[in-house]
Amino acid sequence: MRLRHLIVSVLLPLAAGGCAGSQSALDPQGPNAASLAWLIGAFTIVCGIVWLLVMIVVGVALLRRRGAAEPADTPLAEDPGRERRKGAVVLAAVLATVVIVTGLTVISYLATHSLTAASGEPLVVRLRGYQWWWEVTYTSPSPDRFVTSANEIRVPVGRPVRLELSAADVIHSFWVPSLAGKQDLIPGRDNQLTFTAERPGIYRAQCAEFCGVQHARMALVVVALPPDEFAAWLDGQLRDAATPANEEEAAGREVASGKACAACHTIRGTPAAGTLGPDLTHVASRQTIAAGTLPTTRGSLAAWIADPQGVKPGNKMPMVPLSADELRAVSAYMASLK
Amino acid sequence: MTGIPHDLRDTEVDRDTVERRLAETWRTRRGFWGAIATVDHKIIGRRYIVTAFVFLLLGGVLGLLMRWQLATPEGRALGPDLYNQVFTMHGANMMFLFAVPVMEAMAVYLVPLMVGTRNIAFPRLNAFSYWIYLAGGLLLWVAFALDMGPDIGWFGYVPLSGPQYAPGKRADIWAQMITFTEIAALAVAVEIVVTVFKQRAPGMTLDRIPLFVWAMLVTSFIVMLAMPAIMVGSTSLILDRLVGTHFFNPAEGGDVLLWQHLFWFFGHPEVYIIFLPATGMISSMLPAFVRRPVFGYLALVLSMVTIGILSFGLWVHHMFTTGLPRLGESFFTASSMAIAVPAGVQIFCWIATLWDGRPVFRTPFLFILAFFFTFVLGGMTGVMVASVPLDTQVHDTYFVVAHFHYVLIGGAVFPLLGAVYYWYPKIVGRMMSERLGRWVAGLIFVGFNLAFFPMHILGLQGMPRRVYTYQADLPWGPLNMFVSLSSLMLAAGFLLFFIDAVRSARSGPPAGDNPWDSPSLEWATTSPPPPYNFARIPVVTGPSPLWENRDELPVASGLRLDRREIVITSVADAVPEARESSPRDSLWPFWAALTTSVLLIGSIFSPWAVVWGSIPVAIALIGWFWPKGTPEDEA
């Protein structure tokens, strides 16, 4: 345990965190990532020592015979006894390699085991990858308590979360380095990833498998909340979309249900019931829009709706022609969907 | 043999006449068509090497473009679409058009000289191989220039490369470029194996074969066993795209992971196809610079063979995050770690060679030292990514980018550059500049490490690969700027290298036969070698022939002068078995390559191209193999 702390404290200065939430394998915030950080540290130290030893021996070998005899006299003169002794040294080095490599294999195997030993009833969340966003579905033993959201996973602190991973189009990979290693989302296959967040916080995750033109802008955040806050938030998510509080928002709802928006997006409680794009019922309660591309503000919502191809070129949301008033109204409405 | 009137043998005349008559028999005709028709392994090898280095230059420019884009967060140098083309082109170009071909190119030039024969086996196939390789390279780069460059990554994962998600011809161009380079590589592999098995100089028993030749022999077997996997893969992909088969479509019973298995069953041995020749270069260069034979010849040979075999048992470590069964993954962790053992044997043998050597610090040796520093580090990170749990954090991040550049640049390009400095005088007849060479080695070594070491940290800090940009609030900006600036230093080193190589061809000091006082056979002839390589075939009496026979090499004679003849020897003991004719120059390989290229490129656009295109291919092949009553058909 002391060794573990030592290793983590050596690596920590490298783990600068950004304000978008931590996204670093060196800044573990849960038991899985912590044991992986430990493993990275252990491998780094062992391999670093081996590398250093090899370099020292190379250095000594170069320096010891500098200027000994002039070149080209008798390159074939060899002392058989000396060659045999060198052979023994080489053999010893090879055996040492075998031992080190075996040791590292065993540690690695044990680490794999510790990763899968999660305790407690997990929260099951379905995560489905799309070009270039994430659909998040919170499951429950009662089917009427399923909630669909996007580009953000909220989890209760201290409880294991099991992600059921699938892909709608091409291969993606879910990676939240501060909490766990990555796992691919593959069409035609079902994968799982279990992790636990130990502390409340925001942890950034990003697609790690090249998935097309906007692979770089396919991020999401994992928000870890205290269990009671999580329960309250989930109850909020179960409700239909907020009713417009003023005329502008009401006009925005008309735009969202009447224009092309409704063909792809769902806003529960309104006629909008498309399923090609992210569910927008509580879009304003999420940290970011367009899969981590912009922070959620009324301004960024307006910018995104006005010109999605300018913000995230190549993404699948077309520009829907709107008048200035319509744009203002629909962004006001979106910003109200807490 | 009987009944041929002018059976002029080299035993009947003096040396001057021998050389004059041999030059007459083996020379390449002057002029454009003579150059097209040549089957001289030295001319083809030189072409191959120069072409591969042109692709290195182009690929390097792409690398710099990527660094320009990534130097700052939210960079605007390249858009996402162009960036994706650029990184795909960089990877595909470097792997398929530079790294593998350049190693084979070096072998095409050097192996016949090192084993003491007059031409490579199947020299017309060799010519065909080059033209096919050139056509594949042109296909890729012309497509890129037309904004049709592939944008699916050099690994072309389905479904992203499949018909549904990669419309247009970009993915087809990538897949067909693979076909070209695989044909070229398979052809060379066959030639090398036969040359090494049957054309070695008399007396060059298995334990006297130069280690670079051993490395190429093992590599050639890896090529022959690994490349069919990718050809099955890329052909299935082309069929999925062109005629609607469903090999990789899960909705129709296909499997997307099948592609990854096929690709990496080739893709991992590919790394050793690049790396093993480089280790062979080191083993072959080292004696000249430490003034003693390499330590542990047998151990080095066995470790190369072991690496060759193990390389086929590692591919799953590219797939540790795909959710394969855990027991299988553990097996691949163990096998991936195990390859560190034969790699270690090689390192230890080289160090033991250094230990009693008298180092001569010339440019090739500096590159060997740069190799030690860099490759061992890359090997260490290789051990790290072999661990399944560890790999789940670093897979597809800049850590892996750093790792494989350490292994491929440190492990293969450094020895290759050393090899260019080392063999350049043999190929060109002039020395490269020692003064510039030190700058080249220094700039490339320091620039490389400054540019790539920080990528390990970026990867651990969460930066994924293949992203065209990153946001300003992520903590990766300063290191990326540092990496980009350092890449300029690396680029300056390569630029200086190209300047030195071009300049020395005109103004370098004449090299003489054996400028480094090296022990192997390629140094027993003039620099550059005559068209017939050796006036009389050398006879080998030990593993370091030019050191054992300081005054004059024993030679075998009795070959005819008036037609191209080589000595065939037995596989194990290199006992002379027969004289065999070696083919004369011919235009047919060129026509065959041209028609094959038309067929392959046409098939990107229509399946009918395979039907109609096969007619000219058939004509060219019939022309190529038509019995013409020429001497080579009589042997």
Give B411-452 pLDDT, tens digit per residue.
999 999 999 999 999 999 999 999 999 999 999 999 999 999
Say if residue A16's pLDDT is above 50. Answer: no
Mean pLDDT, residues B479-494: 97
Say if residue B303's pLDDT is above 50. Answer: yes
Interface probe for A, chosen from B258, B263, B291 (most Cβ of A below 10 Å), is B291
* Closest-CA residue of chain B to A168: B159
Q: Position B132: which residue type?
A: I
* Closest-CA residue of chain A to B516: A72
Say if residue A32's pLDDT is above 60. Answer: yes
Mean pLDDT, residues A122-140: 96
Question: In angstroms, rounded to a whole number, what is the distance separating the alpha carbons of residues B339 and A95?
Answer: 13
Say if residue A188's pLDDT is above 80. Answer: yes
Q: How confident is the model at residue A19 (pLDDT cuts 50, 70, 90)?
A: very low
B334 CB neighbours in chain A (<8 A) are: 105
Residue B230 dihedral angles phi and psi, to the nearest 5°: -75, -30
Domain chopping of chain A, boundaries? 2-60+82-116, 247-336
CA A308 to centroid of chain Cα atoms: 24
- Highest-confidence segment of A3-7, A115-119, B218-222: B218-222
Say if residue A113's pLDDT is above 90. Answer: no
Which pLDDT value is given to residue B5? 47
Kindly write down the DSSP assignment for every residue of B248-294, as one continuous string: T-GGGT--HHHHHHHHHHHHHHHHHHHHHHHHHHHHHHHHHHHTSPP
* Helix (H/G/I), strand (E/B), else coil: B476: coil
* Residue A99 in contact with partner chain B when CB distance is under 8 A: no
* Closest-CA residue of chain B to A60: B355
Which pLDDT value is given to residue B630? 62
Beta strands in A88-247 (DSSP E): 123-130, 133-138, 147-150, 152-156, 161-167, 172-175, 183-185, 191-195, 201-207, 219-225
**pTM greater than 0.80:** yes
Q: For residue B593, what are its two tokens?
A: 């390559």
Say if residue B2's pLDDT is above 50. Answer: no
Q: For residue A83, what are its two tokens?
A: 């060659």
Show which of residues 110-149 on chain A sit within 8 Å of chain B, judged by CB atoms. Answer: 111-112, 115, 131
Q: What is the nearest CA distance from B140 to chain A, expressed in angstroms? A: 20
Q: What is the mean pLDDT of chain B?
A: 94
Which pLDDT value is given to residue B631? 58
B517 CB neighbours in chain A (<8 A) are: 71-72
Locate all alpha helices (DSSP H) within B463-607, ordered by sequence. Answer: 477-507, 545-548, 588-605
Question: In angstroms, rounded to a whole number, what is the distance separating the alpha carbons of residues A5 and B278?
Answer: 41
Alpha carbon distances (Å) from B527 to B113, B288, B514, B540, B552: 11, 17, 8, 20, 17
> In which region does residue B460 sit, left (phi positive, over 0), alpha (psi from -120 to 50) or beta (all else)?
alpha
Q: What's the CA angle centered on B285, arms B508 and B355, to 5 degrees?
A: 125
Mind listing the pLDDT tens digit for each residue in B519-535? 999 999 999 999 999 99
At B363, which helix (H) or strand (E)?
helix B363-386
Mind listing the pLDDT tens digit for each residue in B366-411? 999 999 999 999 999 999 999 999 999 999 999 999 999 999 999 9
Statement: B37-585 belongs to CATH 1.20.1250.20: no
Say if residue B633's pLDDT is above 70. Answer: no
Which pLDDT value is given to residue A305? 96
Which pLDDT value is given to residue A78? 75
Q: How many CB atoms lie under 10 A from the CB of residue B143? A: 23
Tell me what ipTM this predicted complex has. Answer: 0.93
At A32, which helix (H) or strand (E)?
helix A31-64
Question: In angstroms, rounded to a whole number, what is the distance separating the alpha carbons of residues B66 and B85?
Answer: 10
Say if residue B119's pLDDT is above 80. Answer: yes
Among B474, B492, B553, CA closest to B521: B553
Say if residue B1's pLDDT is above 50. Answer: no
Say if residue A81's pLDDT is above 90. Answer: no
Alpha carbon distances (Å) from B492 to B54, B214, B436: 16, 34, 12
Among B553, B556, B545, B554, CA closest to B578: B556
Cross-chain residue pair A216–B470, CB shorter than 8 Å:
yes
Range of weakest confidence among A8-17, B127-136, B557-566: A8-17
Say if residue B64's pLDDT is above 90. Answer: yes
Mean pLDDT, residues B555-580: 92
Cross-chain residue pair A216–B81, CB shorter than 8 Å:
no
> In which region does residue B276 sit, left (phi positive, over 0), alpha (psi from -120 to 50) or beta (all else)?
alpha
Mean pLDDT, residues B29-45: 96
Mean pLDDT, residues B74-96: 96
Mean pLDDT, residues B596-614: 94
Q: For residue B385, what are its two tokens?
A: 């990514």
B292 CB neighbours in chain A (<8 A) are: 75-76, 78
Smallest Cβ distance to B250: which of A55, A187, A215?
Answer: A187
Q: How confident is the model at residue A68 (pLDDT cuts 50, 70, 90)?
A: low
Inter-chain CB pairs, A–B, below 8 Å: 264
Mean pLDDT, residues B470-487: 95
Q: Which CATH class is domain A247-336?
A: mainly beta
The DSSP letter of residue B568 is E
Instruction: Select the more confidently predicted residue: B13 or A301.
Output: A301
Cross-chain residue pair B333–A108, CB shorter than 8 Å:
yes
Which pLDDT value is given to residue B9? 80
Smallest Cβ distance to B354: which of A17, A62, A93?
Answer: A62
Which pLDDT value is given to residue A18? 42
Q: What is the nearest CA distance from A270 to chain B, expressed in angstroms? A: 32
* Residue A23 in contact with partner chain B when CB distance is under 8 A: yes
Q: How confident is the model at residue B247 (pLDDT cuts 50, 70, 90)?
A: very high
Which pLDDT value is given to residue B4? 45
Question: In angstroms, rounded to a whole number, what is the distance separating the alpha carbons of residues B580 and B251?
Answer: 57
Which pLDDT value is given to residue A7? 55
Which pLDDT value is given to residue A101? 94
Q: What is the mean pLDDT of chain A?
A: 90
Which pLDDT value is given to residue A5? 56
Question: In angstroms, rounded to a whole number, what is the distance separating the alpha carbons of residues A44 and A38?
Answer: 10
* Residue A205 in contact with partner chain B when CB distance is under 8 A: no
Percent of chain B having pLDDT more than 90? 90
Alpha carbon distances (Å) from B232 to B146, B154, B256, B266, B268: 28, 16, 14, 10, 16
Q: What is the nearest CA distance from B403 to chain A, expressed in angstroms? A: 13
Range of weakest confidence among A6-10, A116-120, B506-510, B520-524: A6-10
B248 CB neighbours in chain A (<8 A) are: none
Q: How confident is the model at residue A65 (pLDDT cuts 50, 70, 90)?
A: confident
Enumerate residues 6+ apart whose C-beta is below 8 A from B179. B136, B231, B234, B235, B600
Q: How confident is the model at residue B358 (pLDDT cuts 50, 70, 90)?
A: confident
Contact B256, B205 (CB under 8 A): no
**The pairing of beta strand A161-167 with beta strand B537-538:** unpaired
Domain chopping of chain B, boundaries? 37-585
A64 CB neighbours in chain B (<8 A) are: 355
Which pLDDT value is given to residue B6? 60
Question: In angstroms, rounded to a whole number, what is the distance separating the alpha carbons of residues A309 and A322?
Answer: 15
Question: In angstroms, rounded to a whole number, what is the distance separating the alpha carbons of residues B282 and B422?
Answer: 11
